Structure formats: structure tokens, C-alpha cells
Amino acid sequence: MHLHWGWLIAIYLFLGGLGAGAYLTSYAADRGWLGNSPALRRAGYFMSGPIVAIGTLLLVFDLGQGLRKPWLLVRLVVNVKSSVMTWGVWILAFFIVVSLLIALLIWMKREVPAILTHVGAVLALATCAYTGLLLAVVEAFPLWNNYLLPVLFVVSALSTGLSITVLISNIIDKGLATDEVKTTKLHVYLVVLEVILIGVIFGMAAMGAKGVVAAESVARILTGEFAIWFWSCLIVLGLLVPFFVSVYALNKLGSGHSGHALSAATGSGASVAVGEADSLLKVMLLSDALVVLGGFVLRYVVVFAALPIWNGTLM
């Protein structure tokens, strides 16, 4: 017995969520839900199409026929009735087109029709959910076969998407910080939600609710060969550190003005010293990078630690 999905599938699932999450961050910022940083309202729209497209291309080259008979790939769209992969091909294709179109309109300084951004947002949510559903429908891999997995992947996608967009926005618009209070609060909620979902999904598996094989699979993550990645890169660096950094930052920012607290501080030197605000911002951006790392490690451990329901040996 040898299975074939390698690194590329984990990267593909991660990039699908990251791109869609970035889109949704800019969509939310565009609605004014995340303050009024101009960069935050565009960075996600610009990034999302290319990120998802790169992920998709990687997977295409990984197919057995990707470089041999690529014309066969046209048929990937036919099994609409039952193949989650077919659903994904449709969702991703439309998402890539819509987000690239929006990026083009913004770049040409044309007005983006609101309906187009709404359609894109629905497709982005569908993209995040698809990356989890692809695994969740596989009954022969009990760790995956849990319909909370797509929910976890959606939350992780929103979290990594928010982080990469905040990160890139700050690089584009140096000094002109985003609305840290709002984005940081959202960070805290997403991290807490992700920890709860990981706890429930892995807890269900560990306690045997998903059968012996799921318990064995999750043991590989919690105490086995994937434990080092899971605990260090996902739990500590990807979730706990960003959580405490965000909470600490909120305490600092909360004592100043709401809204553009950091830039206000940098401007007036009111409640937070200029140097302190600058280093706080750096720490927050570092923690954003860690969230993105954690999102990748989540896909990695879930894809690779899952064992088949029958491993090809008799008992």
C-alpha cells in the first residue's frame, strides 16, 4: 500500500485558505469592519487571486497527467454530483477569476461593482470550506472524516488571511498603520476559536469517538512523530504567542485612543511612547507571520498524520 499525496497537497490546501482569507480581510475592511486603513482594503484583493492560482497550479503539476496529457484536465469539472474535487475546481476557478478581476479594476482605478465583491466573498468562503471538505468526505481516513474539519479550516483561513493582509499592508504603507485595535481583537477571537476547534476535533479523535484508527492518527500528532511540529509551530508559535501578543497589544492600545491608536501615538506621542509603539508594531507583525506559519503546519499535520482505516495488514 502506498499513497501519493505529498507536500504539494498540504501547500495547496494552505494557499487556498490563505488567499481566500486575504480576500475576506479586504472585503471586511472594505465594509469598514476593520477600521479604515486604505492598504488593508486593497492588499487582500491583490494577493488572493495569485495566491490561490499558485496553489492550484502546483497541484495541477502534481497530477499524474498534469505534464503528460494536460487536456484530460478539462474533465475535472464533470463530476458535479458527487466529487468534492470537482466542486473545488469550479469554486477555485470562479474565485480566481473574480478576485483577479477585482484586483485589475482597483489597479486601473475603476470602481468595483459591489455585487462583484459580494460574489467574491461567497466564493472565498466556499474556497476555505472546500479545502477542509475535500478531506472530510473521505470515510477511509477516520481523522479527516469529521465535518468540523472544514469549519476549522475556514477559521484558520480567516486567521492566516487576516495576518498576511495586515503584514503586507504594513509593508506597503509603512508607518501608516492599520486599525490595530479592530484587527487585533479579531485576531484574538479567531485564535480562541481555532484552539477550541482543534481541541474538539482532536479530542473527539483521541477519546475514540472516531474509532481506533483516528485515535492512533491523533496520537501521532499529540505525542508521536508530528508532536514536535504540532506543539512548537502550531500551538505555541502559531496560536499561543499570537494570542498573548494580541492581548498585550490590546491592553497597550486600549489605554490610548480607539481607532488608529498606534499611528496616533506615533503622531502625538500621547499615551504610548513613539519608540515603544514602533517595537510593539514589529512584535505584532512578527506574530502575524507566526499565525501564517501555524496555518501551514495545521494543514501539514492533518494531511500527513491521518492513517487509513485499514493499513493493508491482517490482524
Query: Which residues lie near other proteins (CB under 8 A)?
Result: 1, 3-5, 28, 33, 63-66, 68, 72-73, 75-79, 82-86, 89, 125-126, 128-129, 132-133, 136-141, 147-151, 154-155, 158, 181-182, 185-186, 189-190, 193, 247, 250-251, 254-255, 258, 308-310, 312-315
Please, which residue, 57 or 140, has the CB nearer to other proteins? 140
Question: Smallest distance from the beta carbon of 1 to other proteins, in angstroms?
Answer: 5
Question: Smallest distance from the beta carbon of 198 to other proteins, in angstroms?
Answer: 14
Alpha-carbon distance of 79 to 101, in angstroms, equals 27
Please, which residue, 171 or 209, has the CB nearer to other proteins? 209
The backbone torsions φ and ψ at residue 35, rounded to the nearest 5 degrees and listed phi first, read 90, -160
Please, which residue, 73 or 273, has the CB nearer to other proteins? 73
Question: Smallest distance from the beta carbon of 54 to other proteins, in angstroms?
Answer: 18
Please, which residue, 158 or 233, has the CB nearer to other proteins? 158
Question: Smallest distance from the beta carbon of 120 to other proteins, in angstroms?
Answer: 15
Please, which residue, 220 or 233, has the CB nearer to other proteins? 220
Please, which residue, 232 or 258, has the CB nearer to other proteins? 258
Cell of 269: 506621542
- Which of 168, 36, 34, 49 is CA-nearest to residue 102? 49
Region at 136 (left for phi over 0; alpha for psi -120 to 50; beta for the rest): alpha
Please, which residue, 100 or 137, has the CB nearer to other proteins? 137
The backbone torsions φ and ψ at residue 33, rounded to the nearest 5 degrees and listed phi first, read -75, -20
Q: How many CB atoms lie within 10 A of CB 70?
A: 12
Alpha-carbon distance of 264 to 23, in angstroms, equals 27
Q: How many CB atoms lie within 10 A of CB 312?
A: 7
Continuous H helices in the chain = 7-30, 40-62, 84-107, 114-136, 149-172, 180-206, 212-222, 227-228, 241-254, 261-268, 274-305
Alpha-carbon distance of 165 to 170, in angstroms, equals 8
Q: How many CB atoms lie within 10 A of CB 274?
A: 12
Question: Smallest distance from the beta carbon of 226 to other proteins, in angstroms?
Answer: 18
- Which of 262, 64, 77, 280 is CA-nearest to residue 178? 262
Question: Smallest distance from the beta carbon of 89 to other proteins, in angstroms?
Answer: 7
Please, which residue, 168 or 197, has the CB nearer to other proteins? 197
Question: Smallest distance from the beta carbon of 154 to other proteins, in angstroms?
Answer: 4
CB 234 within 8 A of CB 297: yes
CB 248 within 8 A of CB 279: no
Please, which residue, 21 or 238, has the CB nearer to other proteins? 21
Question: Smallest distance from the beta carbon of 193 to other proteins, in angstroms?
Answer: 6
Alpha-carbon distance of 62 to 93, in angstroms, equals 18
Question: Smallest distance from the beta carbon of 88 to other proteins, in angstroms?
Answer: 8
Alpha-carbon distance of 208 to 142, in angstroms, equals 10
